[in-house]
Amino acid sequence: MIALREKFKIPKKLKAIAALLLIIGILTILSGFFTKGLSTDNAVSAQFWGVLMYNTIFWTLICNASMFFVCFTTLAMGGWQASFRRVPEAISCMVPIFGVLTFLILFYVVAIDHNYHIYGWLNTDVVQHDEVLKGKQGFLNVKFYLIWTVLTLALWSLLGWRMRVLSSEADKGPLLGEKGKKYIWKNTVTASLFVVWFALTVGSTVPWFWMMSIDPHWYSSMYSWYTFASSFVSGLSLIALWVVYLKNNNYLELTNQEHLHDLGKFIFAFSIFWTYLWFAQFMLIWYANIPDEVVYFKHRMQGAYRGIFFLNLIINFVFPILLLMSNDSKRKYNWIAFMATFIILGHWMDFYQMVMGSLSKQEVSLSWFDFGVLAFFVGVMIYGVAFALTKKPLIAKYNPFLKESVIHHS
């Protein structure tokens, strides 16, 4: 009999790292808050709130991507991920926490600060004299923005919580025959609800609200799917990072290179998918060259953001396609961990240029401040996920597909 280490104990080193990151993060945020955040000049305070915005949106979306992973593998009746399913479940516990942060920050920007510099459509004086913005008021208004944001975050958290509750059943006793079918059925129902809501939020409305409306005149029908691809591939990388971490600490005995290989394939495939959407959006706008649309790429490709524009492609496309192509590369724990970190950083930068690229068009504001804020979010994530991992056995012993996962061959 293999003995399974079910209980995760947070190593001291991990706690120390998280604490360090948190301290750096909090100090950075405080200093930013007092130097920029409180400024009555919208353009200055936008430099503070904008950074918080893209970080909190990014981390909420990528943690929510974990629940999306759980749900779509449930719907597809995937067996292979059963051995490490508790990892994405734990990551998804961060959705309510980051969700509250997201809401607070957006609420402040929209309802308290009325930051015109971030959301031009908040400025009623401008809107009154702008036919286009006037026409958008049915969608771009504070009430709808906030209600939809609350609804989105609440339902993600609620349905995710429900999925995790259902998953606990697989700790209690064998799920064979009719019992197993019932278990799968219940999971399927909740997972479908989650996926539908996911499509109606990440797949369409939410990126329009939170990020696309920063350039209130500009539009692209691809925008939301692009945001989804960017956050999803980072979410997969985050799962892989935690799996490797647990493996390196001698947990997850039933997970091996075969599972990591398939996670690696997903990361590889969705890196290419992201590139595909990136290319489709960029090329069509570039080719048609309609002034309304090219404004978005003008300063990104030819102005101050030129470096980031190409770096984005190099990190998120060239590196994954070259470095994750071979079989071996996807089966090495440390290599996957390295690539996953790299890809998360790459897409974090993608979110940076999506938000800050619209807020400060003349110069790239990326500085120690951005990395300090990133440290805060990483610190919170490490603490939160590690804590969530301690709450449940690391392997759901009676998951009906667990044995398939044990003998899985990638």
Residue 115 CB, shortest distance to another protein, in Å, is 21
CA distance 369 to 128: 36
Closest CA to 122 of 152, 145, 102: 145
Residue 225 or 351: which CB sits closer to another protein? 225
Residue 303 or 393: which CB sits closer to another protein? 393
Residue 403 CB, shortest distance to another protein, in Å, is 5
Residue 75 or 126: which CB sits closer to another protein? 75
Residue 39 or 123: which CB sits closer to another protein? 123
Give the helix ranges, DSSP H, for 249-367: 257-288, 291-301, 306-313, 319-323, 327-331, 333-359
Residue 247 CB, shortest distance to another protein, in Å, is 11
CA distance 222 to 284: 10
For residues 54 and 109, is the Cβ–Cβ distance under 8 A? no
Give ∠ CA 346-347-351 in degrees, rounded to 5. 125
Residue 47 or 81: which CB sits closer to another protein? 81
Residue 94 or 195: which CB sits closer to another protein? 195
Residue 19 CB, shortest distance to another protein, in Å, is 34
Residue 397 CB, shortest distance to another protein, in Å, is 6
Question: What separation in angstroms does the CA of 180 have from each of 86, 170, 186?
Answer: 18, 9, 10
Residue 204 CB, shortest distance to another protein, in Å, is 6
**DSSP state for residue 108 in the 8-state scheme:** I
Residue 15 or 298: which CB sits closer to another protein? 298
Q: Which two three-digit tokens encode residue 299?
A: 């300063």
CA distance 340 to 130: 44
Question: What separation in angstroms does the CA of 342 have from each of 22, 237, 261, 351?
Answer: 21, 9, 17, 14
Question: What separation in angstroms does the CA of 162 have from each of 6, 101, 378?
Answer: 22, 21, 25
Q: Whose structure tokens read 């130097």?
A: 35
Name the site residues for another protein (rule: CB under 8 A): 1-4, 75, 77, 79, 131-132, 135-136, 138-139, 174, 176-177, 180-181, 184, 192, 196, 199-200, 203-204, 208, 219-225, 253-254, 256-258, 265, 272, 276-277, 280-281, 283-285, 287-288, 290, 292, 395, 397-398, 400-404, 406-407, 409
Residue 217 CB, shortest distance to another protein, in Å, is 9
CA distance 385 to 241: 12
